């Protein structure tokens, strides 16, 4: 439909959306917005709008999927039909199945699975609007949903992608950059443990460029981690601040 842009970075070194190569898109995060879920979070990153909800720990249904010695995490990453330019069928695509798996595997290392044997935690991620880097934003929101549900965690998991467009390694690619650029490297990270829990790459990168991209993605992760913590604290601090104002 749209013409493929010739250059993704202009003479001033700015990208198509005006950002510098190491700049993140604007991010907004809210925690605890769904009343029926045990934990929930909503994230907007650029034009991405993603909702995540956690249920559990609770008894597994069907029972035969339960593990005798640990908690089981189930994850469903799903895109709404209206989330992309051309309507997407509601049936799960192969991409959604793969992403559900890698997202689950990015969050499992943060949980103490052995604490709650025979139970399960269900994570539902709905992408309401997609503009590149949805799996990363989804992980950032899903991890907050788990924390909001009061499930103990080793650390919050935060995710961000880096990539290459027009010979420059850039941070947080949006859809056009992802499609037209030459590489995309999504990374999920637990900052306090220096642990990479998701790492994928598609495109072509020289080994040095890959190293640069991973480092840049991790820097981006650290910045988003601060926003995650803030969003989580905001939900619980609000009352404290109101009280302090009243007492003055």
Partner 1 sequence: MPTYFEKKQLVTPGELLAEGDYLAGSNTYTEDKKIYASRIGLADCDNKRVDVVALRSFYFPKVGDIVIGTVLEVGFSGWTVDIKSPYTALLRASDVLSRPFKPQNDELSQVLNGGDLIVAKIASYDRTHDPQLTVGEPGLGKITRGQIIKVTPSKVPRVIGRQGSMISMIKQETGCQIILGLNGVILVTGKIPEDEDIAMAAIQKIEAESHTSGLTDRITQFLKEEKTKREENKNE
Partner 2 sequence: MSSLITRVRMKQIEQLIEKAKRLDGRGLGDYREIKVEQGVIEKAEGSARVLLGKTEVLVGVKVETGTPFPDTPNDGVLTVNAELVPLASPTFEPGPPDENSIELARIVDRGIRESKAIDTEKLCVEPGKKVFVVFVDVYVLNHDGNLIDASALAAVAALVNTKMPNYEVKDGEVVIKQGYTPLPMKNHPITVTLGKINNKLIVDPWLEEEQVMDSRLSMAFNDEGNICAIQKGGSGYFTQQQILEAMKLAQEKVAELRKKMDW
Residues that bind partner 2 (CB under 8 A): 94-95, 97-98, 100-102, 105, 108-109, 113, 185, 190, 193-207, 210-211, 214-215, 218
Given the complex with partner 1, which of 97 and 112 has the nearer CB atom?
Answer: 112
Partner interacting with residue 81 (select from partner 2, partner 1, none; CB below 5-8 Å by kind) = none
Which DSSP state fits 72? E
Taking CB under 8 A as the criterion, the residue among 6, 167, 208, 243 binding partner 1 is 243
Minimum distance from residue 211 beta carbon to partner 1 (Å): 25
Query: What residues between 208 and 237 interact with partner 1 by CB under 8 A?
Result: 228-229, 232-233, 236-237
* Cis before 62? omega within 30: yes
- 8 A C-beta contact, residue 110 and residue 195: no
Region 159-178 residues binding partner 1, contact defined as CB under 8 A:
none
Smaller CB distance to partner 2: residue 31 or 99? 99
How far is residue 164's CA from residue 221's CA, in Å, rounded to a whole number? 17
Phi and psi torsions of 52, nearest 5°: -130, 140
Tokens of 154: 């080793």
User: How many Cα neighbours within 13 Å face the side chain of 180?
Assistant: 16
In the block, residue with structure tokens 């999927």: 65
Nearer residue to partner 2 within complex by CB, 12 or 94: 94
Instruction: Report what 210 binds from partner 1, partner 2, none; CB cut-off 5-8 Å by kind.
Output: partner 2
* Closest to 178 measured CA to CA, from 194, 167, 162: 162
Q: Are 45 and 221 in contact (CB under 8 A)?
A: no
What is the binding site for partner 1 (CB under 8 A)?
38-39, 56-59, 68-69, 110, 112, 116-119, 147-156, 190-193, 228-229, 232-233, 236-237, 239-240, 243, 247
């Amino acid at each position: 439909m749209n013409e493929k842009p010739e250059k993704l970075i202009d003479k001033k070194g700015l990208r198509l959306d005006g950002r510098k190569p190491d700049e993140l898109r604007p991010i907004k995060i809210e925690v605890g917005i769904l009343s029926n879920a045990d934990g929930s979070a909503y994230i907007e990153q650029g034009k991405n709008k993603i909702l995540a909800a956690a249920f559990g720990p609770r008894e597994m249904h069907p029972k035969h999927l339960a593990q005798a010695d640990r908690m089981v995490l189930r994850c469903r990453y799903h895109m709404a039909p209206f989330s992309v330019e051309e309507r997407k069928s509601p049936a799960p695509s192969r991409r959604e199945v793969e992403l559900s798996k890698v997202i689950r595997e990015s969050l499992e290392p943060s949980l103490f699975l052995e604490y709650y044997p025979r139970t399960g935690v269900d994570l539902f991620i709905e992408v309401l609007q997609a503009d590149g880097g949805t799996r990363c934003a989804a992980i950032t929101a899903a991890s907050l949903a788990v924390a909001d549900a009061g499930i103990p965690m080793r650390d919050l998991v935060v995710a961000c992608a880096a990539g290459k467009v027009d010979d420059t390694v850039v941070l947080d690619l949006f859809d056009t950059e992802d499609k037209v650029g030459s590489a995309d490297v999504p990374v999920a990270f637990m900052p306090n443990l220096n642990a990479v829990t998701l790492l994928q790459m598609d495109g072509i990168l020289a080994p040095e460029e890959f190293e640069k991209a991973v480092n840049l993605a991790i820097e981006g992760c650290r910045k988003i981690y601060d926003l995650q913590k803030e969003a989580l604290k905001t939900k619980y601090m609000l009352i404290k601040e109101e009280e302090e104002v009243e007492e003055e």
